[in-house]
Amino acid sequence: MPLHHGVIGLESPPYERSWTSKDTLLYALGVGAGTAELAFTTENSAGLRQRVLPTFAVLVAQAPTGRRLGDFDPAMLVHAEQSFEAHREIPPEGRVRTTSTVTGIHDKGSGALVTSEARAVDAETGEPMVTSRSAVFIRGEGGFGGGRGPRDEWAEPQGPPDHKVTYPTHPDQALLYRLSGDRNPLHSDPAFAARAGFDRPILHGLCTYGVTGRALLHAVAGSDPARLVAMSGRFSRPVLPGESLTVSIWVDGPSVLFRTAKDDGTVVIDRGRATVRPA
């Protein structure tokens, strides 16, 4: 059954969600932060106040669309692209009201690319907090004759990167990251992963995104989450829990380009962009 194109442009009802200090600590652990990053992984270390990793902004702005996209096998859906813009630093605990909109359904031939945007505002004041944009790719749902969508003109940087940061992931990382809310069995259930064509469960794309965000935060933003205000990237290949990730970073003033790759050179986040506020 084809996807429901009538949902495009329809704004969802407001969705309210809150988070606590425990949630932001758990998220930091889920994307690999540890004892070297106590400002993000503890709330009571002497001389430190708890801060929040900037990529938690994506979770802050997550909300149901309020519309069904259609009938399809959920094992055929993968996260394709993700971006966020933080309008203020994310606090360790808070409450937001979010509306979301499906912005397009694009025909990629072998599948459909569904894009959406979510806007989260402080539930008390109405102050904008996060704008998040994402895309999912649904295999087998293309070929309906629609447009392919806008082309990204990201150009490969010339010369070596200004920074290269490598972080390991551990074999059980997906089981920890899923406790931040994404319980998709693709990341935990071997039988479900096999239905999707994988030998074993894969790491959440947003976990890889969070690991990449940590590299950017420490390499180009002075470890200050108030300075990493925007980040976008395209998920190009899956990551298996236990594989290491290397983030190559090119800096041009406040504008940053990046790529994330596995040890064998396979690029897993491509066309990366970030914006860093001056110190």
pLDDT for the residue 66? 59
At 67, the pLDDT band (50, 70, 90 cuts) reads low
Q: How many CB atoms lie within 10 A of CB 69?
A: 19
Q: For residues 8 and 91, which has the higher predicted lDDT (pLDDT)?
A: 91
At 210, the pLDDT band (50, 70, 90 cuts) reads very high
Q: State the CATH number of the domain containing residue 94.
A: 3.10.129.10
The active-site residue, picked from 187, 252, 263, 264, is 187
How many structural domains compose the chain?
1
pLDDT for the residue 29? 98
pLDDT for the residue 44? 97
Percent over 70 (pLDDT), the chain:
99
Please say if 79 is a catalytic residue: no
Give the residue-averaged pLDDT of 201-219: 97
pLDDT for the residue 82? 98
pLDDT for the residue 186? 92
Q: What is the pTM of this model?
A: 0.93
pLDDT for the residue 241? 98
pLDDT for the residue 152? 79
Instruction: Give DSSP secondary structure letters for the chain.
Output: ----GGGTTPBPPPEEEEE-HHHHHHHHHHTT--GGGHHHH-S--TT------TTHHHHHT----SS---S--GGGEEEEEEEEEESSPPPSSEEEEEEEEEEEEEE-SSEEEEEEEEEEEETTT--EEEEEEEEEEEET---SS----PPP---PPSSS-SEEEEEE--TTHHHHHGGGS---GGGT-HHHHHHTT-SSPPPPHHHHHHHHHHHHHHHHSTT-TTTEEEEEEEE-S---TT-EEEEEEEEETTEEEEEEE-TT--EEEEEEEEEE---
> For the segment 38-61, what is each residue's pLDDT rounded down to a tens digit?
999 999 999 999 999 999 999 999
At 143, the pLDDT band (50, 70, 90 cuts) reads confident
Residue 225 pLDDT exceeds 80: yes
Please say if 182 is a catalytic residue: yes
- Which residues lie below 8 Å from residue 45, measured CB to CB, with a gap of 6+? 38, 39
Domain that holds residue 246: 5-276
Cα separation, 89 vs 39, whole angstroms = 14
The active-site residue, picked from 23, 79, 106, 182, is 182
Q: What tokens were used for 169?
A: 């992931």
At 278, the pLDDT band (50, 70, 90 cuts) reads very high
Cα separation, 57 vs 35, whole angstroms = 22
Q: What tokens were used for 141?
A: 């749902």
Find the largest Cα–Cα distance for the chain. 60
At 140, the pLDDT band (50, 70, 90 cuts) reads confident
pLDDT for the residue 99? 96
**Pick from 168, 161, 274, 258: nearest CA to 221:** 274
Residue 1 pLDDT exceeds 60: no
